[in-house]
Chains A and B, each alone.
Chain A
Amino acid sequence: MIQEDIVRHGISRLMGLVPTLLMLITIAFFLIRVAPGGPFDSEKPLPPEIRANLDAKYHLDEPLIQQYFRYLGQILVLDFGPSYQYKDWTVNELIARGFPVSLTIGALAMVLAFVLGTLIGITAALRQNSWVDYGAMGFAMLGMSIPNFVIAPALILLLAVNAGWLPAGGWDWSIQRMVLPVITLALPVIAYIARLTRGSMIEVLHSNYIRTARSKGLPKRIVIGRHALKPALLPVISYMGPATAGLITGSVIVEQIYSIPGIGSYFVQGALNRDYTLVMGVVIFYGVIIIVLNFIVDMLYAWLNPRIRYDEGR
């Protein structure tokens, strides 16, 4: 019966995806077109006949609404079109080559952040108001407040330029080149997860049922592991959906500083260059990922917290 609830909940969530995506595509499509300038404006202006050739090649000479429907038609067959800026590549190819890179370091960073973050958070909660707690939360504050464009160059300077242990940047799928970007990406997430875990763990530890479990004389290990951990992780899980989407779609700053060929830079570069197809491609891609991850989180949530399922039945 519980299974059925989850499935029904899942299907109703899935139904909401299509209109959400359509909205996303429409808004993004018209927003980027409203921005002044176009993909072929540059410091060296093109003679009119050459400009006309380019516009014709990319159908930019058609009325906007016609271009919109042409684009929707392409999306249906999953064709994001050619990039205006990287002319030898299609947007599909750019995402196909960049995403595995972003996914790898993003996923590694998330795993690292989850493991370390929850461990630190639980440890701090169990020793609330001790020096361990203060130390851990102090670290978390630092991790959250130092921006990654400070951490990244500092790490390169220390570990690559001065010590020479790791490469300064670049990408070839080797572990050495992943270490620094993964740490940089993970640090603020570790910090955030540690704080979330600590907070909710303390709350759970003070709840009646834990007190009951303790007073019954259950060993601490069981109380924490079996009864407190699951509810304490609820806020972490709901944070992880969007956080994972953010991490695996790359970070502009981390990609720039470590010169990593992920897809994060495409959001910014694409928008700055008015590379319409590239921007649309990454926006839709990001949209789908965030929707899928939120969906997974929802399902996990329903599984972890029965209250959600009862609410659904109203």
Chain B
Amino acid sequence: MAVSCGGEGDGPEGGRSSRPQPVEEVLLDGRPIPSVLADEQVLIRGNGEEPQTLDPHLAEGVPSGHILRDLFEGLTTEAPDGRIIPGAASRWNISGDGLTYTFYLRRDGAWSNGDALTAEDFVFSIRRSADPVTASNYGNMLYPIASAREVLSGELPTDALGVTSLDRFTLQITLTDPTPYFLNLLAHPSLYPVHRASLEAHGRRFSRPGNLVSNGAYMLEEWAIRSHIGLVKNPNYHGVDDVILERVRYLPIEDQSTELKTFRAGEMHWTYEVPNNQFKWLRENYPDELVVSPWLGSYFFGFNLLREPFIDSPDLRRALVLAIDRDVLTDKVTQFGELPSYNLVPPGVTDYEPAIPDYASWTQEEREAEARRLYALAGYSAEKPLRVEIRYNTSENHKKVALAIASMWKQVLGAIATLVNEEWKVFLQNRDQQVVTQVFRAGWIGDYNDPHTFLSLFHSDHGLNDYGYSNSTVDTLLQEISSERIPGRRQRMMQETERIIIEDDPILLVYTYVTRRLVDSRVRGWQDNVMDHHYSRGMYILKARSASSGRAKPADEGGE
């Protein structure tokens, strides 16, 4: 959403990156040997906006997520490649019906103040997260837990929640439906533990430096609002011996150009994003630092099925879907390495084979010919062209894409599309009311690594179903998927659901999101993953090759 102002100045000057290059990395048992490590292990990460909160149960938004994953640890956590691994729980059992999870906490689990981390802490925390008084906006993450909906709506007290401690280090969670992705949910901030005593002592101020007691690899050292947030290694973390970075500093820099300049001036190791209009320049000048990787997100446009011209108009919608050239869109328009997509669930979701429609493998000419045939079949022609509005929230990128789609429709079909841009909240409201919209920008970033996060959007009752899409087969399948325990069967059912949704064309898929950032080539210990979750605890900084002090310095002198 950040608006970048005048990035033109970054263009012509300054040849290839002359940033300090790392020394050769030498690993021993998968860990770098001390002599290759920089003396100062302080990582500076760009973090977009100021985080909304550091209270894990109130947190939303990507910036808070990054910091909270360093500060706290759930029962499960994620490996650098995104796999779910044991966190505060060292192991667990799942009952045969998939409804009862028993977690065995690590005996050496501790809070940053030295207090032991117990099953009772988790009972307290998950109840707090579900408590209506807390008013967590990620409460829906708790839905799989028994009685969670009733507790969230205030019908049942918090102790009715399906979470109990069997003994000091054993926790039991019961679910309403077997939820195969439940272990993924446990790595989400809304299920992190919070320290009861400090919460009770400090109230709303418990997340301030000095007050915040956390159980992750780092603890909060300073928080200068909208300037920086400083974390320092937590000496009581169970894995502290493997944590190499001593400190992590998060800078909330909203302006992409400013962030780029900060990186170029050597004042940052890891950017939050990069300016939209400078991809080519970055690819030429920072080839070693520019990192582009698929993200668990789909970018698409929705059709309002409750409004003309889209009521009962499968042919028209399919014509519009086929008429756009996604390769041109990603190569020439967005230009950021996005992956053209024809299906809903992005590639890279664990254990899932996406349902890709036939026309994905056609040539663009074939698609366009079919589009024209269907367009005529729907009753449109050069004399009676389709007139339609494409609505999007104000943003350079959305505008470029909408403009390209409009011109492709015009070129291939002769349809006349007008663009309407709206301020964010106005756009959201219009989309939700389904009264004025026809074609509108949409998209979804998955909450967890499972197709369900994408498919459930198309349930008739889902809050984000702004298309007015309702297919009873899809609703039934979604219901069955939630209770299906056999992975193979569940996989096939999800595939079938995706196939039906795509066949119905409630949306026009455009591309799969990618994350793009600059990472100092001395920073190691991280991997691309579709969730874009990068925990600082595994990272480290290598010495610079011409090593002076190991400190990042502006790379002006010296040149090549």
Contacts and interface: CB of A to CB of B under 8 A. Distances in A.
Interface in A261-283: 261, 265, 272, 274
A171 B227 CA distance: 6
A45 B152 contact: no
A310 interface: no
A104 interface: no
Interface string B51-79: 01111001010000000000000000000
Contacts of B207: 88
Contact of A57 (B50, B60, B135): B135
Nearest to B422: A36
Interface in A222-278: 253, 256-261, 265, 272, 274
Contact of A259 (B154, B204, B255, B429): B255
A56 B133 CA distance: 9
A50 B227 CA distance: 31
A89 B225 contact: yes
Interface in A150-183: 150, 153-154, 156-157, 160-164, 167-172
Contact of B254 (A43, A154, A172, A259): A259
Contacts of A23: none
B137 A50 contact: yes
B253 interface: yes
Interface string B242-257: 0000000001111101
Contacts of B430: 36
Contacts of A79: none
B127 to A, nearest CB: 14
B397 interface: no
A153 to B, nearest CB: 5
Contacts of B139: 47, 49-50, 53
Contact of A87 (B53, B208, B265, B553): B53
Interface residues of B, number: 62
Nearest to A40: B137
Contact of B251 (A94, A153, A156, A170): A170
Contacts of A111: none
B228 to A, nearest CB: 7
Nearest to B149: A49
B96 interface: no
Interface in A194-241: none
A163 B556 contact: yes
Nearest to A57: B135
A42 B10 contact: no
A59 to B, nearest CB: 12
Contacts of A94: 225
B227 A261 contact: yes
A265 B226 contact: yes
Given A45-B432, A47-B139, A169-B261, A88 B556 contact: no
Nearest to A255: B226
B257 A153 contact: yes
A53 to B, nearest CB: 4
Q: Chain B's interface: helix, strand, loop or mixed, by majority?
A: loop
A35 B425 contact: yes
A42 B426 CA distance: 11
A49 B152 contact: yes
Interface string A109-153: 000000000000000000000000000000000000000011001
A303 interface: no
Contacts of B428: 37, 41-43
A159 to B, nearest CB: 10
B264 interface: yes
A257 B255 contact: yes
A36 B425 contact: yes
A283 B263 CA distance: 34
B359 interface: no
A37 B425 contact: yes
A44 B9 CA distance: 36
A159 B161 CA distance: 59
Nearest to B442: A43
Nearest to A83: B52
B290 interface: no
A97 B223 CA distance: 11
A164 B265 contact: yes
Contacts of B9: 153-154, 157
Nearest to B54: A88
A184 to B, nearest CB: 12
Interface string B120-153: 0000000000001111110110000000010011
Nearest to B58: A87
A133 to B, nearest CB: 32
A169 B54 CA distance: 24
Contacts of A36: 425-426, 429-430
A87 B425 contact: no
Given A49-B149, A256-B255, A86 B10 contact: no
Contacts of A168: 258, 261-262, 264-265, 267
A46 interface: yes
20 contacts: A37-B429, A41-B428, A43-B464, A45-B432, A46-B137, A47-B152, A52-B132, A53-B134, A87-B53, A87-B55, A94-B225, A153-B258, A153-B261, A164-B265, A169-B253, A171-B224, A257-B257, A259-B226, A265-B254, A274-B425
Interface of A: 35-38, 40-47, 49-50, 52-54, 56-57, 82, 85-89, 94, 97-98, 149-150, 153-154, 156-157, 160-164, 167-172, 253, 256-261, 265, 272, 274
Interface of B: 5-7, 9-10, 13-14, 50, 52-55, 58, 60, 132-137, 139-140, 149, 152-154, 204-205, 207-208, 224-228, 251-255, 257-258, 261-262, 264-265, 267, 423-426, 428-430, 432, 443, 447, 463-464, 553-554, 556
Given A52-B132, A167-B265, 15 more contacts: A37-B429, A47-B140, A49-B132, A49-B153, A53-B134, A53-B135, A86-B50, A88-B205, A161-B261, A164-B265, A169-B253, A170-B262, A256-B258, A259-B258, A272-B425
Q: Which 8 residue pairs of A and B lie closest in terms of their CB atoms, listed nearest first?
A: A37-B425, A164-B554, A49-B153, A261-B226, A45-B463, A87-B53, A168-B265, A53-B135
